Structure 1
Amino acid sequence: MRTIPPSGVLFDLDGTLLDTAPDLAAALNRLRCAHGESELPLEAIRPTISQGSPGMLNLGFGRTLDDPLYPALNQRFLDLYREFIAVETVLFPGMGEVLAYLEANCIRWGVVTNKPGWLTEPLMKALNLWSRAACVVSGDTLSKRKPDPEPLWYACEQMGVAPGQSLYVGDAERDMQAGKQAGMIALVAGFGYLGTEDRPEEWGADGFLEQPADLFGWLGAVEVGIATRALDLNK
């Protein structure tokens, strides 16, 4: 079976490329305080972040998407987050070295996230990543978003790479669903925001990354059609 290095690498944003948990948790706690509620510890909020606003607001207020008060609560939460969007947010440890390697070896990289563009763009710019990424696809860039594969296909098209020669890294089941349907090698970011109820071994992923540096094992040569590192079923 012939082997090739990947032509492109795509990342989910929250919980994969960036550790946004501190700033998202701070926004949720500011909103809770405004409603007379006490702050929640970061450790309690962190596992819900990959679920987006629905998960965080359900944790913080017990409000679900079908609650009539949800839309206003969600908008206020996002406004508070946008106001202080990059105070403590950083690349995950080791991710800076991964991006430097990709750029040095002419492997194009980009972001595919369900985060809306009005939050994605200022965050990426604040971290000086916007101009470095070959493409950034937000949750509202297209009419469809993950777990649909279309945003990944669109990102590959923008980068000028074939999906079958690319990797997608994410910390949620929908990321693996999108990646596999797109024909890409899909890797779980085990360092991201996985909750105790998550079962990544059941997501159909090609591999599990304990840390960003584990990506280096996938960047030298990826076997076409067969992952070179199996997902540890005991994870």
Structure 2
Amino acid sequence: MTKIRTVLFDLDGTLADTAPDLAHALNLLLVEEGKTALLYETIRPEVSHGASALVTLGFGKKPGDADFDRLRQRFLVLYTENLCRHTRLFDGIPALLQTLKKQGMNWGVVTNKPAFLTDPLMAQLRPDPAPACVVSGDTVANRKPHPEPMLHACTAAGSRPEQCLYVGDAERDILAGRHAGMKTLVALFGYINGHETPERWGADGMIRAPGEILDWLKQDE
């Protein structure tokens, strides 16, 4: 069996708990527009699906509807201004990254978040050791669930797809990883809503805390 050399993470809901700041930005926009702020518990499960999904949640509008593009752009401005107020690496991630380094593995990020948000957020989070690669939603032509960003990350990290493990909290993460030929794990601690069925996504496993990645790697040796 091929040994894993690189562990790749989705960003929102897997590497970092970004929901508090995304929820804050959405509620700022709702109040600006004369609407009532939503409960954090209502917003959190939708965070992994990006700005468009949050605008739809808050305003009931979908892409193509009147005002949708304006609301989405304003949301992105508000989020950019409040990018890392309360966002943190998930508990267990710093220790995990250090252990991966000690075991001779590197790590990286593959996210659908655009680079103008990803890059400053990663700079403020300052994970140690630094990632071998960061692939944003606009780094290559296609986004997850397409395998192109995953394969780009492999090249940047110096590993073949079969030497990579991808960890994410959305079905598109698992599909992208599988289509690229990687092993995949579902981060159950991420932003998964009650209507989703991660056990049906076809991942190689599911974890409830970041440290369980190490247990899975031992079992996969």
Which category describes the TM-score, using the shorter chain as reference length?
A: over 0.9
1:10-49 counterparts in 2 under 5 A? Answer: 10-49=8-47
Among 143, 161, 169, which residue is 1:171 paired with? Answer: 169
Q: Where do 5+ consecutive residues of structure 2 fail to align? A: none
CA distance in 1 between partners of 2:212 and 2:3 (Å): 15
CA distance in 2 between partners of 1:173 and 1:194 (Å): 10
Q: Which amino acid aligns with 1:108?
A: N
Q: Which residue of 2 aligns with 1:161?
A: 159
Identical residues among aligned pairs (%) = 50
Q: Which residue of 2 aligns with 1:136?
A: 134
Deviations 1:137-178 (A, max 9, x none): 000001101000010001000110011011000000000100
Q: Which residue of 2 aligns with 1:100?
A: 98
CA distance in 2 between partners of 1:222 and 1:157 (Å): 23
* Partner SS, residue 169 of structure 1: strand
Contact 2:15 2:93 in 1 (8 A): yes
Among 190, 194, 197, which residue is 2:195 paired with? Answer: 197
Q: Which residue of 2 aligns with 1:86?
A: 84
Among 209, 215, 218, which residue is 1:220 paired with? Answer: 218
Among 70, 75, 85, which residue is 1:77 paired with? Answer: 75
Deviations 1:5-32 (A, max 9, x none): 4110100000000000000000000000
Among 6, 9, 13, which residue is 2:7 paired with? Answer: 9
Distance 1:131 1:139, change over 3 A: farther
* Partner SS, residue 193 of structure 2: coil
* Partner SS, residue 187 of structure 1: strand
CA distance in 1 between partners of 2:67 and 2:12 (Å): 25
Among 203, 206, 225, which residue is 2:204 paired with? Answer: 206
List structure 1 runs of 4+ shifted beyond 2 angstroms. Answer: 218-223
Cα-Cα RMSD:
1.3
Specify which structure has the higher proportion of helix. 2
Q: Which residue of 2 aligns with 1:121?
A: 119
Contact 2:14 2:190 in 1 (8 A): yes
Deviations 1:85-126 (A, max 9, x none): 001001111111111111222211000000000000000001
Report the CA distance between 1:4 and its aligned residue. 4.8
* Partner SS, residue 63 of structure 2: coil
Q: Which residue of 2 aligns with 1:228?
A: none
Report the CA distance between 1:202 and its aligned residue. 1.1
Equivalent pairs counted in the alignment come to 221
Contact 1:23 1:88 in 2 (8 A): yes
CA distance in 2 between partners of 1:84 and 1:129 (Å): 19
Distance 1:64 1:130, change over 3 A: farther
Distance 1:131 1:79, change over 3 A: farther
* Partner SS, residue 116 of structure 2: helix
Say yes or no: does 1:64 pair with 2:62: yes
Report the CA distance between 1:131 and its aligned residue. 7.4
Contact 1:115 1:138 in 2 (8 A): yes
